[in-house]
Structure 1
Amino acid sequence: MGLSLDGRAKLRAVMRVRVDNFRLEFGNDPPVRVTPMQVRLKDDARPVRAQPRPYSPNDRAFLDRHTAALLAHGLVYKNHRSRWASAPRIVRKREQDVDPTADPRMTIDTRSVNERTEPMSWPMPVLDVVLGELEGARVFFVLDWFRGYWQLPLHPDSQELYSFVTHRGIYTPTRVPMGATDAVAYCQGVVDEIFGDLIGDGILAWLDDILGYAENESALLELLDKVLSRCEAYGLKLHAKKCQFFATEVKWCGRVISADGVKHYPERVQGLVDMSPPRTAGDLQQFLCAVNWMRQSIPEYTRITANLYDALERAAKISGSRKKNMLAKIRLDDVGWGDTEIASFENI
């Protein structure tokens, strides 16, 4: 089912008015109009400065292009005197599986900085609870922030902490970096500030992913205009290519949502079904992480997985670590893996 002729006319009218809410590439837009994120250092914190990492020629070229764009639009500045510097990480995007020429994503390895900061607390929504709000909804829209956290302001006192070093030197961000301890809590707080009264009453919002829902197209388009009006008021830009303005079925936060209900991505379920029985504790950890994402859909999940978590705990005590590379050295046969655990695995 698509939009009616009247609905199409209304949507075009909304888009004509709200066209400046959307972006396809970086521009000289100011940050979202909210209080900047300010980080609190622990009392004994001392600066850390990483060395430049080696990158492949393709990744070096991407870093050059990406940092040049960030510099051009005031999202970072050169800062060779920074006492803090972390190394960038180049992360492959799913789009690259379809388009090999697509750029990867740059994140910053802020673990050393995170260890030296006091984390901010903010209640995150529980997806399986908030999805219950969708009962009766028949039509939907999905909105995605443009470039995510790069729109969020970082307090001047905290900017130097998240400097990063490449083969070209040190750059200091003026916006919130992905990976910072407080980034997730701060982002969700911004979402609540902008859309608070609409959350649970027409929209659900998980960080930079927004889902709108209604019983009919007229109500949905009215809601869409209201949400875009909020975005405009705060200067929040949306990714034009990643938004859906009307649909009877959408993908959002790992779920497929329609009037028939909520289900997991079929490919994720199939991927779980196709997983081979674990041989090492690292394999088991990977399996449990995958299963945990779907725990609300698995009856008696806690009881069924108890033996598996016990086996993982025994392996962690032997290895002295919960890191996957360390757990991968521990064979499950050496930690009492037997018929009971195999039955639990197959049960799932």
Structure 2
Amino acid sequence: MRTKSARYAGTAKTVKINGLVEVSYTPDTGSDQSVVPQEVVDSLYSIQPALQVMDLEIPVDAVMADGSIQSCTQVVSLDLELSTLAGLVSLRSVLCLIMAGDGDEFLLGGGVLKGLGIDVEQQLAQLAAPSLLEAEVDEFPVGDAAPAGQPEPQPTISLNQLLDQAVANGLPPVHVDVVRELLETFPDVWREAVGLDPPANVEPLSVTLKADAVPYRNPPRKYAPLQAAFIQEYVKSLVANGLVEQNNASRWACAVVPVRKPGTRDKFRLTIDYRPVNRITIHIAGTMPSVATTIDAFQGKTVFGRFDFTQGFWQLPLHEDSREVFSFVTPDGVFTPTRVPQGAMDSALHFQSQVQTKLAPLIPHSALVWVDDVILFAPTIDEFLQTLRVFFEIVEEASFKLNMAKSSLFELEILWCGRLISSEGVRHDPSRVSALAELPLPATVADLQYFVCATNWLHDSLPDYARVIAPLQEKLNAERVRIGRRNRNALNVATSWSPEDQAAYEAVVSLVRDSALMAFPVPEAELLLFTDASATGYSIIVTQVRKWDSSLPVDEQKHEMIVCKGGMFKHSELNWTVVEKEAFPIVKACHDLEYLLLRPNGFRLYCDHANLAYIFAPSVELKKHVRDRLQRWAMRLCGPNYSIEHIPGEKNVWADIVSCWHPREGFNFPSRADIKTAQQSAARERSRLSALSEEEDGVVNLNNRLWIPTNAKELLARIFVVAHCGSQGHRGHKPMILALKERFHIVKLEEKVAKFVRQCLLCKHFKGPRQIPRPYGPLMNPTKRNEIVHWDFLTLGDGFGDSSYLLVVKDSLSHFCELFPCSTPTAYVAAESLTL
């Protein structure tokens, strides 16, 4: 290993070593390891005699900036506390080379910097890579692309492709002719883009403004030539299709904002900044369907279809009294829409209510709607085809238009609202679960916040989630208190991980990997409610047993999970008695899951507290000494129909039941006996090897590493699988080689590992640099000048004299820039410049 020491001019930074000695430090991405001068180690040793210095088996040569070489023969493990502009950053057990000499500056190596999320080589590679734009994905499309004009109808080719997709998804050949006849009967329900067609036959959107509302008119903005040309072409197509009208006399005018399409440099989508109008709008009282309650509609359904409305909002009419409010201004004038605009406060709820009204004959037994996504379902194929015909009839009568590219006529398992739905039950999208499980250890507080929020999205299928996530939630709260601010930029600071924190993170990742399949509630099945509580938290699990066998104990019944919930006791709740803590999850389950537990046959309530079973039994009078809180809770349980069954704590098997829902496929880990057997079968290859040594159990080693024969392909595959599965996701090519070289002697190891990694079905394969997904977080959007200001220092070099730095200040709204030459890049200079 080689290191290179380099010095950079700039403001001095300090590091406190082991909480005792404070010296200046310099971050150096050119150095592989951190370096501490011998003089600093001696000073630290005089204060901390227990400090242990370790000798290196192989000395490390450090190449200095002047070309000289210094040999480092010792290493020491230190706890560091770095002072940065964002605050203190703590690092534990950092191995540092000891460099002879009388220097007093600590060199922070590239390995530590990469652990903090600072990788200059990677950033430069991403900047220089030609495929950077090509790798972009439009996860959340915003605005509309320029319409390409009304295409010539080509129903035969497109409809045949849609039919072929249905056959590929499992549509039996005997039903193909029926589906083809349906498509030919309703050819006019499909459109690639909204054109000259009249608006849908629904109620127009009418908005109500607040009493003190005054017209808002944004002055025209300046746009780059490419953006201006796009806006002009886009608005022309809208006018030609009758979607907007020019109205230069409008008293309202919002700004248009062209947004670049991911993966392109000169293609845009158009968005309109309707925030000023939304702030003075009284929104309608519409509601969106609850995914938790509507999931029951899929019970017993085996066939599904999915349909999407083409540019859905543009299909709905806008009331004449509300059109002027949504006018927008471009360099060519002011234009007023005649259709419902995207971005208005009431657009989504109005669209939802109108589509639900039209599809009322199918909802909820055969169809569900989520804004512009419609899902159809039925128990059999014949019933599904009847539902499909009724759906097309409603769409044609209402003059809706469907997007063929985003629709599917037939599926046996369908993705809807982030969940995969089939006849067996509901499970979360495996791609999302896999992406969460493969995330590396969060490097910043913002990354930790994203991980906690993202896993919470899966909590309904993660038993005991609240208890497992609690250490990470506490760590996140502590970091927020330390930082003092909660916006996205403030949280983008490094965080340190103790062994306990890493164990908690790995426990959550393991739980995410085992997210359970949620079954559909069956009215005839026996419903069971399991609750459990500890001193700090509680858990709730609802299962069902389709065929209840009274002769079997509860732990031997065949359970299917419906839902699981949990939480932690906080504040005064921690002082509750044991009885209160055991009672709370029961009452909470009956309150939050009322839609599930209210059924004619009632449900079985299992709890592991004998006193609680006595208190809540409806046939037993409540005792006077019971707390008021328990009495109120008992009154809340008078409505549900349930029977309490006591189960001793040592036999409360809810956790064991959960473990049965996700059995992992058997995998035989390679053992020394397997290696010995493989070596005995490769006698010819063994005879060609030298420097062999044999252990007491007969296993052959080569240079103190286990020898794996070339022909032992099945054993090699198992070893590679174990080496590929790291604690934070699948290992890459180099980490696998390092892990294997330490333990095994394998011929042509690099080639075999490279082939193995390429063939892994779970790893992402792409060209170019490693992708770093941007975490979700709040966005700050200015509404007036100088509300949000960005600044940064640009290094000019010593050739500019005292003005070796340039402070660049930019207004986020107007993009106005101002430059301030300065001699030092300090916070004082920035604050002084901003006040000028």
Q: Give me the TM-score of the superposition, normalised by structure 1.
A: 0.84
Secondary structure at 1:157 match in 2: helix
> Match for residue 119 of structure 2?
none
> Match for residue 346 of structure 2?
182
Secondary structure at 2:454 match in 1: helix
> Match for residue 128 of structure 1?
292
Is 1:85 the counterpart of 2:253? The answer is: yes
| Aligned partners of 2:201 and 2:398 also within 8 Å | yes
* Distance across 2 between alignment mates of 1:290 and 1:54: 39
Q: 1:318 to 1:80 in 2, by over 3 A?
A: farther
| Aligned partners of 1:32 and 1:152 also within 8 Å | yes
> Match for residue 49 of structure 1?
217
| Aligned partners of 2:247 and 2:336 also within 8 Å | yes
For residues 237-276 of structure 1, what are the structure 2 equivalents within 5 Å? Answer: 237-276=401-440
The Cα of 1:38 is off from its aligned counterpart by 1.0
| Aligned partners of 1:79 and 1:171 also within 8 Å | yes
| Aligned partners of 1:280 and 1:328 also within 8 Å | yes
Of residues 230-239 and 56-65 in structure 1, the stretch that sits farther from structure 2 once superposed is 56-65
For residues 207-226 of structure 1, what are the structure 2 equivalents within 5 Å? Answer: 207-226=371-390
> Match for residue 206 of structure 1?
370
Of residues 195-204 and 142-151 in structure 1, the stretch that sits farther from structure 2 once superposed is 195-204
Q: 1:248 to 1:167 in 2, by over 3 A?
A: same
* Distance across 1 between alignment mates of 2:504 and 2:316: 45
Of residues 309-318 and 104-113 in structure 1, the stretch that sits farther from structure 2 once superposed is 309-318
Post-superposition Cα deviations, 1:38-76, rounded to whole Å, max 9, x if no partner, equal 111111222223344555655444433332221111111
> Match for residue 65 of structure 1?
233
> Match for residue 178 of structure 2?
10
Secondary structure at 1:131 match in 2: helix
> Match for residue 491 of structure 2?
328
* Distance across 2 between alignment mates of 1:186 and 1:315: 41
> Match for residue 396 of structure 2?
232
| Aligned partners of 2:194 and 2:315 also within 8 Å | no
Secondary structure at 1:132 match in 2: helix
* Distance across 2 between alignment mates of 1:316 and 1:89: 34
Tell me which of 307, 313, 326 is aligned to 1:149. Answer: 313
> Match for residue 549 of structure 2?
none
> Match for residue 80 of structure 2?
none
The Cα of 1:210 is off from its aligned counterpart by 0.6
| Aligned partners of 1:26 and 1:69 also within 8 Å | no
| Aligned partners of 2:304 and 2:378 also within 8 Å | yes
Tell me which of 208, 228, 249 is aligned to 1:40. Answer: 208
The Cα of 1:314 is off from its aligned counterpart by 7.3
Is 1:28 the counterpart of 2:196? The answer is: yes
* Distance across 1 between alignment mates of 2:270 and 2:480: 31
Stretches of structure 1 lacking an aligned partner (at least 5 in a row): none
> Match for residue 191 of structure 1?
355
* Distance across 2 between alignment mates of 1:340 and 1:159: 59
Q: Percent identity?
A: 38
> Match for residue 301 of structure 2?
137
The size of the alignment, in residue pairs, is: 340
| Aligned partners of 1:139 and 1:247 also within 8 Å | yes
Secondary structure at 2:361 match in 1: helix
| Aligned partners of 1:307 and 1:344 also within 8 Å | yes
| Aligned partners of 1:50 and 1:86 also within 8 Å | yes
| Aligned partners of 1:128 and 1:296 also within 8 Å | no
Q: 1:331 to 1:4 in 2, by over 3 A?
A: closer
Post-superposition Cα deviations, 1:276-310, rounded to whole Å, max 9, x if no partner, equal 44455543443344334333223344555566667
- The structure number with the bigger radius of gyration is 2
Post-superposition Cα deviations, 1:119-154, rounded to whole Å, max 9, x if no partner, equal 112221112331232122221111100111111111
| Aligned partners of 1:91 and 1:105 also within 8 Å | yes
Q: 1:267 to 1:58 in 2, by over 3 A?
A: farther
> Match for residue 463 of structure 2?
299
Q: Give me the TM-score of the superposition, normalised by structure 2.
A: 0.37
**Structure with greater proportional strand content:** 2
The Cα of 1:84 is off from its aligned counterpart by 2.2
Post-superposition Cα deviations, 1:235-275, rounded to whole Å, max 9, x if no partner, equal 11111222111122332222233333332322222222233
Letter in 2 for 1:294: L
The Cα of 1:186 is off from its aligned counterpart by 1.0
Indicate the structure whose relative CO is greater, using CA pairs within 8 Å and at least 6 residues apart. 1
Letter in 2 for 1:76: V
Q: 1:212 to 1:160 in 2, by over 3 A?
A: same
Stretches of structure 2 lacking an aligned partner (at least 5 in a row): 1-168, 509-836
The Cα of 1:102 is off from its aligned counterpart by 11
**Structure with greater proportional helix content:** 1
Of residues 195-204 and 294-303 in structure 1, the stretch that sits farther from structure 2 once superposed is 294-303
Secondary structure at 1:77 match in 2: strand
Of residues 300-309 and 212-221 in structure 1, the stretch that sits farther from structure 2 once superposed is 300-309
Of residues 204-213 and 103-112 in structure 1, the stretch that sits farther from structure 2 once superposed is 103-112
| Aligned partners of 2:483 and 2:491 also within 8 Å | no
Letter in 1 for 2:381: E
For residues 309-320 of structure 1, what are the structure 2 equivalents within 5 Å? Answer: none
Secondary structure at 1:70 match in 2: helix
